[in-house]
């Protein structure tokens, strides 16, 4: 099924486990780096080995007219290095107005600071001289209207059309664009916030949102668990709440909230399923905030308040695995976090495995298997000879320039595939116990791949000798591609889909409604995904007449149908495609369309025209992706690469 499987190469020797309970004393490894503080975060200026933020206090005002957040950030600091006299923070396009330190008697005195030149990726290093090593430092600042981690929507860009909307997206390193921070996963902190906004705007944060809070323009929040900076989140707009259970519910615009509540009403069952497998949910409430369609991702696992795209609300719960995924982050990612972005699989890969287990428990193994097969097929398309350095789970320092550029196939699919490999080899009961122990052992810590490796050696490989070799284990971590002994999946329902597609391509006879009438989103996704790269216009028209793909409200189908239409020269889809690209900002759904369009001069012109209209409604993260794609295509003025 996967032609890109790599040969299993001899892997490096074992590294001593950091778990004190381990009796094994294996030889050293050239890969080992068990101390997370020693794992340099190349995407942050912070020096967490010298000083760390332990608590953050925010006092902020939201100004929709200026597209600005302004106020103060107060840091409670733990000075680790006795020689340290500076606090280095990450910023991006922030205006720093003042910096002060609190003396032991509570008096605030100015501190000298310097803001470095702006790096296009990292932003500007903020260096604060703290000669007295103050335990508390306060910064007054305001954001730029173009902050990369904030999106400001006019009323016309919302579903209700009456009030403006603002939301954040801090992952991977965008929190620094709206709060000066040690913007690295190696620093975890509690936080509190006082936020003012226009009286008609409900404000929410990744904290203790009160479902019964009055909408009065004055809000307070507290996050008592320590989180890394990328989980800091805020949103404000015309939002109302609907409960799902005593500890879970949905926030959304009034016109969307009932649909969202119905689509996501299995959320409490998902929480209970995850708890039965991996231990108690440790974050209090689990609510979902349905954002406008410009949100650049499917979901964001902000603790206590998952941000979710409305593109998964299609009326049949066929795409609610997204909720299972974001919920799973409550254990994998939020509870146990990667220490550096190049180890992102520790968040996304383990989470994708847990997501699949939740889906299997609630919706059956066949659906879980179909979703895994779809992901693995996409991995096959994504893995190329050109991106082999990013196909390793343990990416080498320097290979990942921008943390937003991690390969989805690596961090999500290969990571989950690795977990399934371990489950299959060690047995589900043993692997479930291992994973639950892993979450408990590293709870509220940020770790490296090497720490995971050492823990697995001590608590899985050494406890079940002879099950797999160290070389087999390490091949997943340190080699590109997929090991040859990876477990394979088959789907019986996909076999029917394959037969119908092959028959149509052979004899022109479309599968009858008696067959396709019961197909799920997953089956239609597989049908479209396995079609030839290009079809005849007549074939496209026949498919469209029978199944109405043009104009579909299902983004998973749209992101496959419209690129096929572009490649096939099926211009009957152009108008609906342009409308989709202008109303949806989720990168996963629109980037395949842009990437197909820019391969011809005609398509590139079409893409530029659509983007000019769509840009005001896109999140800055989405805009950056589109602009990079257009720039790569525009290799010469007026000339684009040929297909």
Cα 49 from Cα 79, distance rounded (Å): 9
- Confidence (pLDDT) at 8: 30
Segment 149-175, tens digit of pLDDT: 999 999 988 888 889 999 999 998 999
pLDDT at 406: 81
Domains of the chain from N-terminus onward:
46-227 (2.60.40.1730), 239-330 (3.30.2010.30), 340-483 (1.10.390.10), 531-633 (1.25.40.320)
Identify the pLDDT of residue 635: 63
> Residue 55, Cβ neighbours under 10 Å: how many?
16
User: Annotated catalytic sites, by residue?
Assistant: 326, 412
Q: Which residues of the chain have pLDDT under 50?
A: 1-38, 636-643
Measured between alpha carbons, how far is 398 from 206 in angstroms, rounded to an integer?
A: 31
pLDDT confidence of residue 104: 87
CA distance 593 to 579: 12
State pLDDT tens for residues 5-51: 333 333 333 233 333 333 233 333 333 334 444 478 999 999 999 99
Strands 188-196 and 305-308: unpaired
Residues 6+ apart with CB under 8 A from 571: 565
CA 307 from chain centre, in angstroms, equals 10
Chain length of the chain: 643
Please give the Cα distance from 595 to 603 (Å, whole number). 10
Alpha-carbon distance of 435 to 107, in angstroms, equals 48
- Looking at residue 512, its pLDDT comes to 87
Nearest to 527 by CA among 519, 539, 538, 537: 519
């Amino acid at each position: 099924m996967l032609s890109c499987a790599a040969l299993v190469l001899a892997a490096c020797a074992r590294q001593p486990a950091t778990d004190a309970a381990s009796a094994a004393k294996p030889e050293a490894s050239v890969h080992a780096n068990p101390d997370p503080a020693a794992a340099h975060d190349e995407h942050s200026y912070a020096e967490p080995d010298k000083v760390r933020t332990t608590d953050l206090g925010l006092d902020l005002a939201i100004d929709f007219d200026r597209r600005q957040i302004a106020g103060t950030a107060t840091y409670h600091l733990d000075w680790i290095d006795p020689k340290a006299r500076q606090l280095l923070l990450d910023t991006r396009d922030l205006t720093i107005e003042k910096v002060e330190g609190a003396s032991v008697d509570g008096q605030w005195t100015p501190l000298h600071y310097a803001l470095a030149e702006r790096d296009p990726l990292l932003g500007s290093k903020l260096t604060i001289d703290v000669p007295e090593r103050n335990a508390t430092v306060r910064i007054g600042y305001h954001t730029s209207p173009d902050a990369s981690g904030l999106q400001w929507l006019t009323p016309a860009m919302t579903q209700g059309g009456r009030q403006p909307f603002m939301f954040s997206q801090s992952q991977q390193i965008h929190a620094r664009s709206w709060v000066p921070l040690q913007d690295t996963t190696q620093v975890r902190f509690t936080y509190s916030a006082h936020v003012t906004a226009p009286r008609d705007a409900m404000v929410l944060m990744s904290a203790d949102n009160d479902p019964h809070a009055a909408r009065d323009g004055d809000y307070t929040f507290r996050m008592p668990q320590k989180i890394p900076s990328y989980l800091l989140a805020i949103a404000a707009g015309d939002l109302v709440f609907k409960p799902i259970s005593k500890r879970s519910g949905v926030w959304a615009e009034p016109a969307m909230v009932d649909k969202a509540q119905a689509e996501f009403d299995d959320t409490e069952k998902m929480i209970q399923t995850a708890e039965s497998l991996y231990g108690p949910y440790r974050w209090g409430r689990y609510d979902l905030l349905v954002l406008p369609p410009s949100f650049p991702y499917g979901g964001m696992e902000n603790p206590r308040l998952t941000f979710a795209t409305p593109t998964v609300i299609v009326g049949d719960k066929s795409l609610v695995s997204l909720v299972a995924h974001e919920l799973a982050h409550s254990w994998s990612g939020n509870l146990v976090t990667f220490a550096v972005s190049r180890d992102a699989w520790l968040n996304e890969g383990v989470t994708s495995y847990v997501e699949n287990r939740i889906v299997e428990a609630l919706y059956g193994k066949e659906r879980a298997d179909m979703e895994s097969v779809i992901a693995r097929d996409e991995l096959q398309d994504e893995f190329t000879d050109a991106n082999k350095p990013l196909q390793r789970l343990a990416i080498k320092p320097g290979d990942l320039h921008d943390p937003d550029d991690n390969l989805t196939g690596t961090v999500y699919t290969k990571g989950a595939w690795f977990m399934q490999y371990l489950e299959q080899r060690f047995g589900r009961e043993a692997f479930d116990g291992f994973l639950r122990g892993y979450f408990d052992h590293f709870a509220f810590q940020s770790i490296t791949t090497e720490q995971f490796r050492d823990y697995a050696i001590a608590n899985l490989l050494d406890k079940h000798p002879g099950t797999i070799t160290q070389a087999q284990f390490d091949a997943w971590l340190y080699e590109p591609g997929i090991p040859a002994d990876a477990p394979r999946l088959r789907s019986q329902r996909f076999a029917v889909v394959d037969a119908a597609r092959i028959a149509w391509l052979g004899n022109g006879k479309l599968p009858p409604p008696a067959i396709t009438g019961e197909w799920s989103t997953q089956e239609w996704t597989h049908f479209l995904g396995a079609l030839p790269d290009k079809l005849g216009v007549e074939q496209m028209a026949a498919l469209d007449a029978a199944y109405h793909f043009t104009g579909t409200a299902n983004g998973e189908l749209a992101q496959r149908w419209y690129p096929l239409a572009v490649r096939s020269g099926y211009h009957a889809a152009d108008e609906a495609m342009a409308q989709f690209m202008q109303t949806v900002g989720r990168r996963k759904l629109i980037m395949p369309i842009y990437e197909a369009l820019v391969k011809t001069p005609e398509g590139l012109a079409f893409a530029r025209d659509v983007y000019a209209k769509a840009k005001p409604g896109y999140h800055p993260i989405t805009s950056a992706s589109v602009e990079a794609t257009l720039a790569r295509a525009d290799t010469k003025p007026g000339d684009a690469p040929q297909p």
